[in-house]
A and B are shown apart, each in its own frame.
Chain A
C-alpha cells in the first residue's frame, strides 16, 4: 500500500543525491523513517564537508556550527514488508551519503539511529543486507524527544478536533510541561513528560492500533489499515453495538448520565442476533471496532491524566493517521469522561514521533523554533493537511558529529 506514496515522495520531494541522516522507528506493524535532505532550492550553505577529515577537524568545525538548510522527509513501510524498506535505503544510498555529508569518522559510517522493538529484532537483517549497524535509541525517549521537538519547533503542530473541526493550538513553550503523551502504535503507551529527557511511562494498553487492524483484518478481510479506516468512515456502528437506548427502550438513561446513543456494549448486538459475520457489512464492523478502541484509549488516557493532574493530553502514533473519525471519538471520550474539563490534542506528525526522536539523537538539530515551516502545507489542503503518510518539514540543521555517550 505504501508503494504509491513512496513513489510520489520520491518524485516530488526527494532528490536522490542530497539525502543525508536517516533514522528509523521499526514498530510492530510499521516502519517509520525520517531523513534529512538538503533541498534543491536552497543550496548547501558554506559547508564543505570533507569526508576524509579526521575527528579532530570535525569537532572543531562543529563549534563553528555548519548549518545545512534542508528538509526532513517522513516515510513509512509495513514492517512485514521490511525488504521494501531495505531496498529503499539501498537504492537511495541514504546511509552512505548521509554519513559522508556529516563527516563522520570512517569507522562510524555504517550506523543508523533506530528505535522501536524492531531495532532489536531486525538488527541482524540490516547488518547482513546493508552492512549497517542500527544504533538503538530507547523507544520512550525517542517518542518524547520527537514530541518535544515538534511541540516546541513546529508552529501549528498541535490541534484539537471538535465536531469535525481542527483548531490549532498555540503551545506556550514555557508552559508545555508536564503533559501526557499517548502514543498509539500497535499498542498504546502513555507517557508523562516533565521536560526534555524527563519522562515516565505511566500506563498503557494493549488495545491499540494493532488491535484495530488485527481484529479488523480478521473480521472484514480488509487488506490494509487505510482501507479499514476508510471503510469505517462509511459504517454505522449501531448495527452491531448495543446502545443504551437498546437496553432502556430508546429513553435516555438519565439517572446515570448516559444518552440513548451511548454505546452500552461494543459488539453487544452481535450476541443475540442470529447473524453470521458475513451478514454484517464490513463497514459497520470497522466502525464499531474503531469506536470501541478510540473510546477506550480516550478513557484510559483521561483517567491517567487525571491521576497525575495533567491538563494537556497529546495523542500520537500511527493509529490516528489524521483520521477524522478516530480523532473525533477520542476527543469525545476525553470530553465525556472529563466532563468537558480536558481536551484531546493531536499532532500533525503523530506517526513519526519515534523516528523523529531517533533522528534527534544524532544531535544535529539546533534550536530553530522560528525557522521551521512545513513545506507540505503549501501542497496540501490545509483541512486534511496531516502529515501522517509522508511529508516534509523544511528546516535547517547543524552538522556536527554525534556525541559519544
Chain B
C-alpha cells in the first residue's frame, strides 16, 4: 500500500470530473419563455404581459441541421428578442449581442414535480417579472474587415427585428477625423443588412456599461500593481459615487452617482490619441498595437530626464523622489545632439507611454480627491489590458495618493461602449439581473472573445476542431479566408514553451489515442525586462440564468468564499496545473470511448486536448485572464471545454456499468463508510484511475471499505450519530436534508439506501432512473421515491398532498444549477433554492436548524465549501484522494477520510 501511495501522490489527483459531463442541459439552463410564463403562485405580482414572450410561430431551423445547436429562426419576435450593439472604432469593431438560449424542452417528470412541489416560480422573490435567459456575447472584429462583421451579423440573424425599420445601436462610429466616416458605415449596414444604425450618446453608454458590469459580474474590477492583478469585490450597495475615466483619443472623467446619473467633471486632451499620434510621428509605427508592442522592449531612461540625471545619481529624497523618477519626459532629448533616428523607437514609445499614463493617473487622482470619490475605474481603448499601461496608471494613483487610493480596471473594459449601447435598448431585460444570475464561460471557439482577433468566427464544431488542430488541416479544408485562424493557435501555443515557466508543456506528450501537441513553431522571443501585453484579459460569453439563486442556507452569503485553496499562491497554481495536465490524456481516452471511439470522436478528443491545454497555458501565463482563478473555475472550465467539443458525458459508459453493478444496502455507519469508500470511485483522480485499472470497481469498493476503519482523519461521526437520534438524547428529526451527491456509481446506492429525504444530483436528469432501478431492490427507497413523486405510479399523489405524512420520507431529485464538480453556493438553481427554503418555512427562522445539508465528495466538500458555514446542520464527507490536499487541509495522507459535522449554532 505504501508503494501505491507514493506513486499516486506523485501523479496527484483531481476530483470528480465525471459526474458533470452529462448534464449539459442543467449547466446552461435558462428559463425559456414558456416556462417562465408559468404564473407565479402566491402574492407576487405577475407582470409578464409587459415583458417579451417568445412567439414560436413560423419557427424554422436556420442553417445546418447537423449542427448540434442550430440556430432556430423565430421570425415573429418582438424586436427586443435579439439585440445587437456595436462600437465601431478606428481599429476594432466591438459587438455585443444577446441570444436567447432555449432550454431544450424537457418533459421531465422529475423537474416538473419538483417545480410544482416547491412552487419554483415563486422562489425568486426579488423578481417581479420573468426575465428570459440567454447569453450575452462579446465579439471583436477588425474595422478593416468590416465585411466579416456584416457577414457574422447576417449569419446569426442578429439584425432581424420584427419590422423593416430595424435599428442597431452604436456607441461610436469613428469619425472623419479618423478616416472612416459614419456615413460609410450607415450606408454599408443599410445596404448589406437592411438596418439603420443609430448612434447613442457616448457617455450614457459608458456609464450604463460600467454600471452593468460592476453590478452584474462578480470579478469585474481589478487592481493592477507591478504586473499583478487582484480582483476587487465591489459591494453593490456601496458602488456610488465612482469616477469613471475613459481613455479614448482624449480622456473623459465622469462622476457616476447612479443609474443614468452622472456628470463629466473633468478630462484631459492628453490621451490615447496623443500617444498614438505622437508615437506615429516619432516612430513610424503603423498601428497602435505595434506602438504598444514596441514599448515593451523600451528603456525610457535613454530619453527621459530622470531625477538621477539631474542630481548626479543621488536620490533627491527630501522631496520624496528617487533617482529613477522621471523629472522631465523627453528631457534628455534636449541636450544630446541626437536626431529622432538616433533614438530607438522602443524607447520613445515607452517614454511616451509613461508620460501619458502618469499624467492621466495624476489628473484622475486629483479630480477624485476634489470630489471626495474613493473609487476610480479606468477604461477605454488606450488601456487594452496592457500591463505596463495599467501599472503606470496604478503607480501614479498610488504615488500621488500616498497609497490612499487605488486605480481599478475592468475586465470587459474594451466592451464598455458597445455594452452601454446595448443597454440603451429599452427592453433588454438585463436591468435587474443580479450577480448570481450570470455565469461566464470561455468557449474556445470564440477567438473574438479573447484578447486578440484572429480571423473570422467559427461557425460550427467541425470548423472549430479543424481550426484548433493545425495549420495543415486548416489550409486544406478551409477557404482561403480562414487561413488566418492559425495565428491564434500560434499565439496561444507559443506560451507552452515560454521561458521561466516550469511547466513547458501542460499537454499530453504522448497518448495512444491522441496525437498530442507538438510540431508548432513556437516563437518565444519575449523580452524579460518588461512584462508583455499578452495580459489582455479574456472575455467570455455571459450566460444569463435568471433561475439561479443564492443558496438560502448559507450562513453569510456576503463573506462566503467557496474555494478552500487559494490559487493566488503560485505553487498551488503550478501544482494544480500539473495535475490537470497529467490527467488530460486519460480524460481524452474516456471521452473518446464514451462516443464510441469513432474517428470523429478521436478528432474531437484531440481538439479538446489542445483547446484545454491552450486554456491552461493561457492561465499559466496570466492567471487572472478569465477573472479570479479558482480550482472550481478551473474544473468547470474543463467540463465546459469537453462539452464544447460535444463530449456531453465522457464517463457515461462507465457510470452506467457501475451503477448497475453496485446496488447494495447498508445502515448508518456503513452508510457513511460507504459514502467515503465509494468516494474513491473517482475518475477525476489520477490515483484512483490507476487503481481501477487493476481491478473491478466492486472489488476496490470492498477493499476500501476495509480501509475505512474509524477513526477517520476528521471524525465527527459520533456527534452526527447523536444528532441523528441514535444517542440518548431526543432530537427533532431533520425536516429536510439536502444531500449534494457527486460521483455516479457506488455512492448513489449508498445514498439511496440512506433514505435521505431530498436529493440533489448534478446528473439530475439521470438520477431518477437510477433511483427507480434501485427502488426495485429496496422498499424503503421505493417508498421514499414514490412519496417524492419520482416514480411514475406515484405521480398522482403529489398534487393532492405532497406534504402529508406518508409512511416514507419523500425522496426527490433537484438540480443544483452548477456546472462543476465543485459547487459555488452563491449560484444554485431556483429549484434547489426552493427545496432549501420551502415556502412554509421561509418566515419561520427557527425551523431552519432542522435542515441538514450534506456535502459529499472532494469537489463539494473539500475543494469548495470546506470552510463554508450554514444556517443549518451540515455534514461534509469526503475521501481525500490527493496527497498534497490531504497534507494541507487535514494534515493527513491520501485516502484519509473526512467526516465533518457542523451543527447549526
Interface membership of B451, Cβ < 8 A: no
B149 to chain A: closest CB distance in Å?
19
A-side contacts of B328, CB under 8 Å: 28-29, 185-187, 206, 208-211, 214
A-side contacts of B303, CB under 8 Å: 214
Q: Mark interface residues in B758-793 (1 if CB within 8 Å of A CB, else 0).
A: 000000000000000000000000000000000000
- Given the interface pairs A187-B331, A299-B363, the reply to whether A280 lies near B326 with Cβ below 8 Å is no
A207 to chain B: closest CB distance in Å?
5
B-side contacts of A121, CB under 8 Å: 310-312
Q: Which residue of B lies closest to A244 (CB)?
A: B250
Q: Which residue of B lies closest to A138 (CB)?
A: B318
Interface centre among A121, A185, A201, A221 (most CB of B within 10 A): A121
Interface membership of B203, Cβ < 8 A: yes
Interface membership of B1, Cβ < 8 A: no
Interface membership of A307, Cβ < 8 A: yes
- Given the interface pairs A210-B327, A268-B177, A272-B177, the reply to whether A219 lies near B281 with Cβ below 8 Å is yes
For window 276-308 of chain A, which residues contact chain B by CB distance below 8 Å? Answer: 276-277, 280, 285, 292, 295-296, 299-300, 303-304, 306-307
Q: Which residue of A lies closest to B90 (CB)?
A: A272
B-side contacts of A350, CB under 8 Å: none
Docked Cα-Cα span, A203 to B179, in Å, equals 39
Interface membership of A51, Cβ < 8 A: no
Docked Cα-Cα span, A240 to B336, in Å, equals 26
Q: Mark interface residues in A229-257 (1 if CB within 8 Å of B CB, else 0).
A: 00000000000111000110100000111
Q: Mark interface residues in B195-227 (1 if CB within 8 Å of A CB, else 0).
A: 000000101000000000000000000000000
- Given the interface pairs A187-B331, A211-B330, A218-B343, the reply to whether A27 lies near B250 with Cβ below 8 Å is no
B-side contacts of A304, CB under 8 Å: 366
Interface membership of B694, Cβ < 8 A: no
Contact A264–B331 (Cβ < 8 Å): no
Determine which of B175, B319, B329 lies in contact with A249 in the assembled complex, contact meaning CB atoms within 8 Å.
Answer: B175
- Given the interface pairs A121-B310, A295-B269, the reply to whether A271 lies near B277 with Cβ below 8 Å is yes
B-side contacts of A267, CB under 8 Å: 273-274, 277-278, 281
Interface-located stretch among A69-77, A112-120, A158-166, A358-366: A112-120
B266 to chain A: closest CB distance in Å?
8
- Given the interface pairs A210-B331, A307-B366, the reply to whether A272 lies near B179 with Cβ below 8 Å is yes
B294 to chain A: closest CB distance in Å?
16
Q: Mark interface residues in A304-332 (1 if CB within 8 Å of B CB, else 0).
A: 10110000000000000000000000000
Q: How many interface residues does A have (CB within 8 Å)?
A: 69
Docked Cα-Cα span, A230 to B314, in Å, equals 35
Docked Cα-Cα span, A210 to B303, in Å, equals 11
A-side contacts of B179, CB under 8 Å: 272-273
Contact A120–B319 (Cβ < 8 Å): no
Docked Cα-Cα span, A51 to B316, in Å, equals 38
For window 199-225 of chain A, which residues contact chain B by CB distance below 8 Å? Answer: 201, 203, 205-211, 213-215, 217-219, 221, 225
Docked Cα-Cα span, A27 to B310, in Å, equals 7
Interface membership of B420, Cβ < 8 A: no
B-side contacts of A296, CB under 8 Å: 268-270, 359
Contact A268–B274 (Cβ < 8 Å): yes
B-side contacts of A240, CB under 8 Å: 277
Determine which of B277, B280, B310 lies in contact with A266 in the assembled complex, contact meaning CB atoms within 8 Å.
Answer: B277
Interface membership of B651, Cβ < 8 A: no
Q: Mark interface residues in A184-203 (1 if CB within 8 Å of B CB, else 0).
A: 01110100000000000101
Q: Mark interface residues in A126-169 (1 if CB within 8 Å of B CB, else 0).
A: 00000000000010100000000000000000000000000000
Contact A264–B269 (Cβ < 8 Å): yes
Q: Which residue of B lies closest to A262 (CB)?
A: B269
B-side contacts of A209, CB under 8 Å: 328
B-side contacts of A246, CB under 8 Å: 175-177
For window 304-327 of chain B, which residues contact chain A by CB distance below 8 Å? Answer: 304-305, 307, 309-312, 314, 316, 318-320, 325-327
Interface membership of B443, Cβ < 8 A: no
B-side contacts of A80, CB under 8 Å: 334-336
Contact B249–A210 (Cβ < 8 Å): no
Q: Which residue of A lies closest to B348 (CB)?
A: A218
Interface membership of A269, Cβ < 8 A: yes
Docked Cα-Cα span, A80 to B316, in Å, equals 21
Interface centre among B264, B288, B312 (most CB of A within 10 A): B312
Docked Cα-Cα span, A247 to B176, in Å, equals 8
Contact A207–B277 (Cβ < 8 Å): no
Interface membership of A171, Cβ < 8 A: no
Contact A29–B334 (Cβ < 8 Å): yes
Interface membership of B714, Cβ < 8 A: no
Docked Cα-Cα span, A349 to B685, in Å, equals 78
Determine which of B176, B278, B333, B355 lies in contact with A270 in the assembled complex, contact meaning CB atoms within 8 Å.
Answer: B278
Contact A210–B330 (Cβ < 8 Å): yes
Contact A265–B271 (Cβ < 8 Å): yes
4 further A-B pairs in the complex, CB-CB below 8 A; given A207-B359, A210-B332, A307-B370: A29-B335, A207-B329, A208-B329, A307-B369
Query: Could you jot down 21 A-B contacts, CB within 8 Å?
Result: A79-B335, A117-B310, A117-B316, A186-B331, A187-B331, A206-B358, A207-B329, A214-B331, A214-B332, A217-B334, A218-B333, A219-B340, A247-B175, A265-B270, A266-B270, A270-B278, A270-B280, A271-B273, A272-B177, A303-B370, A337-B266
6 pairs of A and B residues whose beta carbons are closest in the complex: A117-B310, A210-B331, A268-B273, A210-B328, A265-B273, A267-B277
